[in-house]
Structure 1
Amino acid sequence: MGKTERIHQAIARTLGTAILAGQHKPGDSFEGEIEQALALGVSRTPYREAIRILVAKGLLESRPKAGTHVTPRARWNLLDPDVLAWTFAGEPDAGFVTGLFELRGIIEPAAAALAAQRRTPAQIDAMRASLDAMARHGLASDAGQAADQQFHLSILEATHNDALASLASSVGAAVGLTTRFKQRYHALPRDPLPDHIAVFEGIAAGDSAQARRAMEELLRLALADMAVVRA
């Protein structure tokens, strides 16, 4: 079963990446299950499971008699961690990247301000440990990137707001994917660690205004970095 699971997830990734890259347009049919499975070199069972995954993520719609079709983009669950990963597997649209940072700009500065009011000593320690790991490993490494993600997740957790914490998987995926994307063709244009330290200092000091401003600046500079590496 583990092998089958890996196969259908790989198929979902292949098809999902193709849909997100525009190789399959909204309204396009995904009929011919047998032929599609044969083309991919798999049996019908994992192919069907892959289609179910894509339906659950809003990329496909399957209805009796109408068949299976690519849905309009407005219905895609673009913040699903898998969908985000499939988007960044190719060349994400510049407008989408900007929109993702705009969304983070709404969520994360407010979360940093709340975290400054509500963080516990243990959460401050967790943030400090993430910063130490980022400094030790660097953001060019998997370990450094994981520490970066954990820093942002710790801030959401420190809000003690379940609704905000529920966004952790999407925010964490966005942080990791944009960091890796920035290094796909070039080294990081600058060291973002000082930006993270400024956010931490605001939260640790219990200064909501400082924490909010620092997070806004962190995101502004991160988006500017994206423009540099895509130029």
Structure 2
Amino acid sequence: MARDGKEERERDAVVLPLASASHRLHGAVARELGIAILSGRTPPGTVLPGEIAASEGLAVSRTAYREAVRTLSAKGLVESRPKAGTRVSERGRWNLLDPDVLAWAFETEPGEAFIRDLFELRQIVEPAAAELAALRRSDRHLDRMAQALDGMARHGLAVPAGRAADQAFHHAILEATGNAPLIALSSSIAASVTWTTIYKQRRRALPRDPLPEHRALFEAVAAGEGPLARARMAELIRLALADTELSMLS
């Protein structure tokens, strides 16, 4: 038994790195194709090259290309049909809230309309979530929010660690609602927060410190003040949009 266990570990040591490398490769191909679609270089209705030609053009294996197309299909960006090939889907079919799709959109020039749409979505979802969180939060949720605020204060939003803390704060708010569909939106909301924060800093430093609004929101949630938490989340998002609008003008 010991020998079999050793052989299994040795086999995994070989297989797992190879699997990881393969995953990174088809992920990189999916990203390249996804950015081309999101940027408009490969518009809806375009039929992608066949598997052989595409894999040769990208200098990857057919397997890596095939997996990349499956990834894009799962995100609604393309659809494959027998004999018709793989075609870029209409924009209405794209899963724009998928964290990868959001990332690819912001690696291009996402457009003011799309950015405003994201903030509009946040204004619909997050204030109501904050009100629920104030009524339902546990000490565990409050601890996570407090730790996230400490991380934001320590690192600032100009660096990845600070933005990760900001993500954690918004995730904790949604998690505290106890509402499963709202919690399912957490990764999308967090990605929206991160990418718009990066966008705001693309040409200039952040115009103000957003930490006070986050702390005020935390205090309302901790005090169980639902309507106040709603109002403070709405104000936080309004100010974030105002900061982003300054970036649009620069």
Normalising by the smaller structure, the TM-score range is: over 0.9
**Sequence identity, in percent?**
58
Structure with greater Cα Rg = 2
Is residue 2:24 matched to residue 1:36?
no
Residue equivalent to 2:70: 52
Q: Which residue of 1 aligns with 2:166?
A: 148
1:85 aligns to 2:103 (yes or no):
yes
Separation in structure 1 between the aligned mates of residue 188 and residue 74 of structure 2, nearest angstrom: 16
Instruction: Spell out the pairing of 1:161-200 with structure 2 (5 A cutoff).
Output: 161-200=179-218
Q: Which residue is equivalent to 2:25?
A: 7
Equivalent in the alignment of 1:217: 235
Q: Of 154, 168, 177, which residue of structure 2 is paired with 1:159?
A: 177
- Is contact 2:37–2:43 with CA below 8 Å preserved after alignment? yes
Residue type of the partner of 2:43?
K
SS at match of 2:86: strand
Cα distance per residue 1:34-92 (max 9 Å; x no partner): 22111111121101110111111100010012211001000000000100110011111
Aligned equivalents of 1:5 and 1:88: distance in 2?
A: 22
Alpha-carbon separation, structure 1, partners of 2:181 and 2:50: 41
Aligned alpha-carbon RMSD (Å):
0.9
Instruction: Calculate the TM-score normalised by the size of structure 2.
Output: 0.90
1:100 to 90, 97, 118: 118
Structure 1: give runs of 5+ residues left out of the alignment.
none
Deviation of 1:186 (Å) = 1.2
Tell me if the contact between 2:50 and 2:85 (Cα under 8 Å) persists in the aligned partners: no
In structure 2, distance between residues paired with 1:198 and 1:92: 31
Looking at structure 1, the residues matched to 44 and 157 of structure 2 have their Cα atoms a distance apart, in angstroms, of: 37
1:31 offset after TM fit, Å? 2.7
TM-score by length of 1: 0.98
Gaps of 5+ in 2: 1-18
Match of 2:84 in 1: 66
SS at 1:181 equivalent: helix
Q: Distance in 1 between matches of 2:169 and 2:60?
A: 40
Q: Please tell me whether the aligned partners of residues 189 and 229 of structure 1 are also in contact (alpha carbons under 8 angstroms).
A: no
Aligned residues: 231
Secondary structure at the residue paired with 2:158? coil
